[in-house]
Structure 1
């Protein structure tokens, strides 16, 4: 006689979410391939989760506790792996490939106690490279580093003003309002 109780598996039919995961027993498991929106068959026992698509075994995961996520980096497409796995080194190399100053600027942005919280700013900077070109963004990063300003919003504004050919012009000061008192109205009067 066996010393352990027979583990009776259960079968469920989860749907693959846009993040390429399925939810089984309140836990998330990654799915290989481009199966977003498809229904899978999943065999769940105490030790493993086996995922099937159209009768073919496509993935085996170890069973995890509810509320946890099991993501295999090989299941994600290469363009999403760096973002999903918060791979800062790949992101840094991608920025450096566009220009020296873009790489230095990216390193300055990611120089933070919690660098993955700054990843969106780096993705915004890489979006500016796609939109305006690497040479223009590299020059803007150089000028920003010279001024010791590390803010992707400043780079975006610099490129927006330069891309349209607009030059910054100084406007004359607005006329004083009749409701605002002048500084002479607040002058201290000394007794004579």
Structure 2
């Protein structure tokens, strides 16, 4: 049985509520997120359509370095996660945050798949290291699907299946320091 871990040795996912909307907006704005509404609209609708929303804290500095979300589950047993990390340690922390978010989704809901949408086809950028090949499957490409920074981008849909997570996820969680507590 999976446990919804929210911390590793390096990061902590802390639940985000309406009071955290300006901080979440700051992160998305800093990253140049496409389609970001004005702050008042973002605050008013913060958390809508989400089952879980976290601010990501770097445990070394306790600084808020990101936002991690899980969408509401579909009737087919799918949810989408989004991880947005800012700052110099973003690449270093990406694996921990993706692993925690995927694990949280599978631990909390009866999901078959967790999706990640990216403009890059490179699943290695999720930061899961050698576990990437065992965990992440490319499922689709939506050509010229989104527009930002002055151009059209493909959207690559990657999936983590529950069976793969059940087999390879726990060793990954141990590796990143989730299960030593």
TM-score bracket for the superposition, by shorter chain length: under 0.3
> Which structure has the highest helix share of the two?
1
Structure that is richer in strand per residue: 2
What is the TM-score when the length of structure 2 is the normalising length? 0.21
Higher normalized contact order (CA 8 Å, seq sep 6+, divided by chain length): 2
TM-score, with normalisation over the residues of structure 1? 0.20
